[in-house]
Every structure is written in structure tokens, then in C-alpha cells.
Amino acid sequence: MYIPIRDLLAPGADFGDRADYCYIGVFESQSGVDDLWEIGSKFFRRYYVVYDASVYQERDQDFLLLGIAPKNPAIDLLKP
């Protein structure tokens, strides 16, 4: 899946840095788990993310499924 870099950039001021700096919102996790990365909230504002544990719970597999898709700006799922 192609994700434009603008969807991951955050202004430096969000991290207590200079306003003319920017950061890519993907960071190595500080949890101590190897090969674990964290994605910033800017990504989640532009994409639907679905976590599915059914293969782990129902089929006894040792993984989870993750679905990612760009949000449709014409649809607001939070409106009643």
C-alpha cells in the first residue's frame, strides 16, 4: 500500500522542536519489544484501520489481521 509522506508528517512544534522542522510520524517503540514501530495519530486521521483477532481466537493461529484503507472524506462514520 502506498502512503504519501504528507500523511505521516507532523510539525516540529508538536514535539517541542522548531516550527520549521517536521517529523515523520513513525517511531521505533520504546516498549522494549524488538521490531515494533508506532504510527502517529495523523495517519489514523486519514485512514480506516481495522484490527481482527478472529484468526487468533477462532482458528488458533499465532497472528492477527490488520486492514488499512484511505478514508472517504464524504462519509463521516461518527455522525449518527
Q: Give CA separation, 61 vs 36, 53, 58, 67, 68, in Å.
A: 20, 10, 8, 17, 21
User: Each residue of 27-78: pLDDT tens digit?
Assistant: 888 888 888 888 777 778 888 888 898 888 888 888 888 898 888 878 777 7
What phi and psi values does residue 55 have, to the nearest 5 degrees? Answer: -65, -30
- Output the pTM of the full model: 0.55
What phi and psi values does residue 23 have, to the nearest 5 degrees? Answer: -125, 150
pLDDT of res. 1: 66
